[in-house]
Every structure is written in C-alpha cells, then in structure tokens.
A and B are shown apart, each in its own frame.
Chain A
C-alpha cells in the first residue's frame, strides 16, 4: 500500500485492540445515508516510475522557451545550493515552529530573513513572510488603515502604475471591510504629480508607491512620500528586492521614509514555477509593529540565559485573538523564505548588486536592439530598472504569437491593463539573457515585423 506501513498482522492486532472487527466499523458514527462506496472517478494508482515518466513527458511538452517576460515574476539564476539545502527533510517536512525548542533551525533562519529584509527595505522590523507580493500589498493597506491614528480614512491612494494584479487582489481582500482604493493617474509612465493639487493627503489612510513601478519606470518617490506625510497619510512602499540592491530603499524615501514596505520576494532565489510558491514580504517601522499581520520571530534567552529564538507578539494572531486578529493568515511561505535567506546569504550585497546591474544593462541593451527595428519605439522617457515599455505600430498579440512559435516569450502585452498605451509591450531581460539571446529576439522580431508589413 502506498505510504502506509502496516502489515496484515499489525492491522488485525490493532483492530482487536480497538475492539472492532473490520476497518469499516471505525466509521460507524457517520450516518449511514452519508456513507459512500468509494471514490468512483479516481483512477488506479501509478507506480513511482510511471508517474515520473508521465510528469517528465508533460514537462518536456511545455518546453523551455527563452523568456523576456517580467511583469512581477523574474527569471534569475538560482545557485544549486539554495534548494538543495532548503529541501533537506529537516526544513521541508517540519511544521510551523510553535515548539520553539524543537524548531531553532527554522526560527533562526526566519530571524536572519527578517534582518535581511529590514536592511534591504531600510525599515526596522519584518514579519516571517506572507503569501505573495499581491497579498502583502493588500495586508499593507489593511495594516495602514489600522495604524493611522491621524485620520480615520478608509481610502488608500494607489497609482495607476502600480501592478494591476496587486490592485485587483487588494480590491478583493479589502472589499468586505469597506476600504477603497483611489486611483492616482499616470503620465509618461509615472505618477502624474499635477493631479496631487486636486487631492488632500489627509483624505487617505495611506499613499502607496511602487518603485520601480509595474511599467518598469522609477517614480517620484521623494515628492510623493513628503506629500503623503504632510497631510497625515502613511506611506506604503512597494518594491522589488532585487532593485533594492541598487536603489534608495523605501525607508529612505523623502524626508521621513515610507512607514511600511512590501513586495514580491520571488527574485530572491525562487524559480518562476508557473506563479508560485513565492513569498510576500512586509516590513515596517517599530512604531506600528502591533498592527503587523503574520508570524514574527524574536530573539530571547532560555532559562539558562542562553540566546534562542521563538515566535513572538502572537497576541496579534488568529490563534489567540480570533475574530479581532490583525489577519486570518496562519500558514505562510516558510520554506520559500528559507530558500530566499540562503540565496541572499550566498550572493551577499556585492552579488545582488552585480545581478541587479546586469539586469539593468541587459534590459537597456534589449531596448536599444528593439527600437532599432522599424515601427518600434520607447513609450516613455523615464529611467527604468529592468523593465521597459515599447510601442509597436501594430497589435502586440500577433507579434508575441509569432515570437512564441519561435521559442521566444517576447514580453507582456499591456493592451488589456492599459488600453490608453495603445500597442504597448512590457519587456524584461534579466542577468540570464545573454547578448546572443537578445540578438536572437531582435533578429526574429525583425523578420516577423518585416514579413507582416
């Protein structure tokens, strides 16, 4: 029997000890009318060899196209040690570290994780991870509404340039509590500062700022942060941790810095893996820690005075505060955060800076190569980190289809999310894309554009 260790003799010994004649009797409290004959519709078991062949065939079928899509998930190199260590059974098959003495490994990893995230974002305290960047953003909005003591607003000002998926997830998660997202318009791929004149920061619990924004551009983080604080709104900084290896972190934006930072942790050693599991991060100032959702690890001492780690500030959480908890989150993305901690340890600051710089350089090279083609231009002049928007003289979908049949994923079509941008494509070239890859993209695109024209 797969994954059941009992022998026939074990089973009969155990049944008689329990005092039943057959396994079926163990279910005698289920009303007879509800009992089923079994799971008709589930096929027969496959052996390990058979399932391996099946999955390998399906994986091969999907292939390994050359990826120039970013849009929130990025194709970075992951050193072999990262997942070799993270999937050791002692990390992989452990539970949430509620029994601290038997979970010091996981707890210390998370404490190190919290330290790294606080440093990257330039803020003071971090939690142990949330599901992904989108839910971390939604939780940051909820947290800001609870934490803002200067006003009782239930509105959050959110730029149109902030990830459409994050805005949609936040809308879904905030709806029940009647918290609204108000859109800050964009101009030239960044927030339109002129529109601030018609708004009052005091009408918002928080102002969200994504940098680089969804379109890859660097936004007016200092001006927006100071404007928000001047009216008593908190600032939520949404950031890509890879970009933070180079860019001024949320904690240093404007005069006072953002109050909360959040984002998608995937670029830190997590494979793209069809969208997950990734991890969201949430970091804040010490002053608002009691409004933080999710698990937090603290360093303390044991009864002999020796340092050790434990889950702390648990009175915020659902298993203690129930209906008045800061969030319903219980399971987070522990193993993925473990992998990210190992990744950041292996690369260190110089390694991360080097990867981030390569991404910036490769995307610049890609943009140069593509705007050399007829009918392709840059949509905006704003500086970018590792993604940029290109305008085409024809619908992007057809170009992407043709590229895809040549094994190239050419970018993310923006026409559904940003129809006002026309035939716009968001492209990204990480450190993984070589000069040859970029030439292959440009050459193929040249043929496609030439053939169709």
Chain B
C-alpha cells in the first residue's frame, strides 16, 4: 500500500522526458555547480504511475463529501479548468503588450465589475493571491487612509476572539496592535466591550459576517456606527460570503474594505492548499489606495492601472498581476451561474446547513447555538460525549474518514469545546447529507459501546494516526538517500 518516494524509483540511466540538447553552457567552470542534484531519474510511466497512485491517497471533493467548516468545499466545475487552460491564456507573458491581451483584460475587467455588484463595493483589485494577502491589502489600505489624513496614531486593529488566525496575524504584519473582543453567549459580538475599546487609537475592525460561529452578526449596523464614530474603518473578511451572496451586501452593512476568497465562494479549486485568490473591494474613499495593477477601460481599450495613475496606492503585492489562472476560473463560474444562479448559491448553502443541523440535533447531537439560525455552517459540540466516553472531536474526525466522509473543521473556533464546524455547501444532495448524519450517529453509538475502537480510527486509510510529536521533535523534512546519509535535513 505504501507508495515509495519518487527518488526510490531512480536508476541513474533513465529520465522521464527527454529534452535533447548537445549544447554546452557558455559559462566559466568556476560558476558551475559540481555536486549531484537530488532529482529523480525515473521513466515517464514510473512518474505517471507514482503521482497517480499518490493522488489516490487523497480525499477530495471529486471523490468525497468534504464538509470542512469555513473552507467552502463546493464542486469545482471541470469546464472552469478547461477554459482557464486554453493555450493562448497559458502562453500569455504577463509583461506582454495589452494589444496581445485584450481578451484576457476584458475578462478581468468584467470579473472586477461582477465582484463589485456581488459585494456592494465601488472598486475591486484582483491582485491579492490568497485570502491572507487580501487581508494584508485591506489593513494596509486602512493604514494608508489614516496616514493620508495625518491621523497616524491609529495603530489598533480590533478582532473578535472567534476570528480566523489570519486576522490577528495580518494586523501584526501591518505593524498594528491587536485588540481582542469577546463574543457573547448568544454568539454576537460583545458590543459594550467594543464601545469601551473603540477610540482615537482605533485603525479599524476586522469582521467575518456571518461569523466563524456560523451566525449572522445581528448588530452589524450598530458596530459600523460605533467604529465609524470613533474614526475607524471596517474590514470584511469574505471567508463566509457564500452564506449571503445575493441576500445582503457588505457595502450596505457599512464595510469600507473587503476581501473575497474566490477559492471558496466562486468555486476555484483548493488544489491541496492553493492557489487561491483574495480579491479586494473598497468603497469610494479607499479607492485611491487599492493595490495595483487592476484593469481599467479607457476609450474602449483595456489597460492596467499603474502606480503613476494611483500615487496613493499601497503598491504591488505580486511580481505580476496576481493569480490570473484562478481569476479566469472564477469568471467562468460566475458567468455560468448568472444572476439567478448566484442568488441560489446562498439559498442552498444555507438550506443544506440548516437541514444538516436540524437532522444532527434530532439525532441527539448538541448544537452550539440551537436558538439561532445557521448560516452556511454551524457548530456541533461533542463536549458531553467526550466527558462521558473519552471519545473526542478529533476521534470523531478520524472515524468519519473510515465512513468515507472528510472530517469537518475540528477545534475551531476555539470558543466552543470539542467542536466540529460543519459546512456542507450547496453542492451536496440530500442523500449525502443524510449519509453523513447516519455516520455521525453510528460513531456516537460506538463511542458509548466500544470507545477504544473509535479512538483507534482511522483503520481504512493508507496510514493509521501519525505521531505528530515525533514529527515536530525530530523534523525529517527532506529525504536523504542512504549514500548521502549523514547530514540530516
């Protein structure tokens, strides 16, 4: 079952793809390397088999229900991939003249416009390459805005305690101080605490709405009023945009700047960890600070906006124009949905979440906020089961793998003990949701009848539970061949 490392296939004489050249480099020997490169020398078929077999050791949306909370693992339509990989798009050099890119630039311009409509923002830049970089762009714009007005003391970013880790990490990267605000029992923000901390040092607040608890923040208008009155700005973390698409707009809620995870809401693939896209949108007053480049239309011709045109821009975030191929996939997806399809995304993402929540509650599971409506995701707490049987949320996660379901997000948000954050997305049928409920119930029954077996899970995966402590204490991050041996990487 174990697939060897690609290096272990190697035989010195073989090479998968023959690039023929008799040429010798026109360079002095002193600049050349003399050591052996640790690269495989396997045949093409060996390489193809090796990576195909490795792929088969993955769970994926194409093969399993993947209800990972906060990650929006919806179906990634194949046609989006095919059209983003048209040879002319793949072959286009990023610094090529716009005359050889009008088709591509028009597509990007229309994507910017669609994202503006979907979020209620005045302008969009597509350059951030992932959600965290979108966050960086957002906080950097907030800082630039305050600085442009000579209001330089504002260095605090307010973040709810339930926020994604990227929010406080981003604030730190931007040189800001993080002020954490607690969440109330009912899942909304502690607004009295917010009132107490908002003031002349407040640069802004970073909020996800619906929150990471899977709840719509009902006091959002009041929060916006408090922050704006204090002179701060509101940043919208678009991780959960799938829940509200076509129902309400971050712009109307009072947000000044937002990022969107196109790899969540707009269905570009997660690719085993990326690439993503964290496009940012802003209201009119932050427009001068948008990261360049973005596409503009002048006299029917599409061109890139530059630093010269936007001297107050926070600048560039990538060597070129961001993750173009991801943006093409998002564009294709949005055009295929159209207006009605886009509005239905949130209808069915939220229907699926509420249906799954009700089914799990009726099956006897404890839902974290039973009196609230779920957004596109919700939290189950396994605290009682853990106390009574010793079977934890992590054990449930591993046991679900044996039932052919990817685990929900575990132990996040940190506020709810032994939690599973479950996000089914609109892609899943009732049948797969019912199957998940049945598996959860079986694992729960097993937790009471035979907890030791549940704690052994998974039993059907390529490996059993891995020793994380060993991995961290004696990091083995790079393979060493038996011959090259001694130096341990």
Contact = CB atoms under 8 A, between A and B. Distances in A.
Nearest to B357: A18
Contacts of B66: 95
A346 interface: yes
B312 interface: no
A337 to B, nearest CB: 8
Nearest to B61: A93
10 contacts: A67-B93, A79-B17, A95-B68, A104-B54, A108-B3, A108-B57, A134-B318, A276-B320, A334-B272, A334-B274
Contacts of B215: 29
B233 interface: no
B41 A355 contact: no
Contacts of B383: none
A330 B132 contact: yes
A96 B273 contact: yes
B350 to A, nearest CB: 5
Nearest to A68: B93
B384 interface: no
A55 B83 contact: yes
B274 to A, nearest CB: 4
Interface in A330-361: 330-336, 338, 341-342, 344-352, 354-358, 360-361
Centre residue among A72, A302, A331 by max chain B CB count within 10 A: A331
Contacts of A165: 316, 319-320
Contact of A332 (B93, B274, B398): B274
Contacts of B446: none
A97 to B, nearest CB: 6
B204 interface: no
Interface in B420-475: 426-430, 458, 461-468, 470-472, 475
A54 B103 CA distance: 10
Interface string A130-171: 011111000000000000000000000000000101101101
Given A63-B88, A87-B81, A252-B33, A92 B321 contact: no
A39 B75 CA distance: 22
B370 interface: no
A209 to B, nearest CB: 13
Contact of A364 (B26, B174, B343): B26
Contacts of A252: 33, 35
B61 A333 contact: no
Interface residues of A, number: 201
B39 A352 contact: yes
B21 interface: yes
Contact of A39 (B61, B342, B354): B342
Contact of A272 (B7, B91, B271, B317): B91
Interface string B201-219: 0000000000000011010
Interface string B389-405: 00000000110010000
Given A289-B475, A331-B273, A409-B97, 18 more contacts: A27-B248, A34-B252, A45-B339, A60-B88, A69-B95, A96-B273, A101-B401, A118-B38, A172-B314, A175-B175, A298-B477, A302-B463, A306-B2, A333-B271, A341-B6, A345-B6, A348-B39, A364-B26
Given A81-B48, A105-B56, A335 B93 contact: no
Interface in B101-142: 101-104, 106-107, 113-114, 117-118, 129-133, 135-136, 140
A103 B166 contact: no
A334 B401 CA distance: 22
Nearest 10 CB-CB pairings of A with B: A335-B271, A275-B320, A89-B62, A45-B338, A334-B273, A58-B103, A275-B94, A176-B175, A119-B38, A277-B275
A345 B140 contact: no
Given A39-B246, A344-B39, A358-B21, A73 B93 contact: yes
A319 B412 contact: yes
A348 B39 CA distance: 5
B94 A274 contact: yes
Interface string B59-91: 111110010100101111101011101111111
A198 interface: no
B355 interface: yes
A308 B466 contact: yes
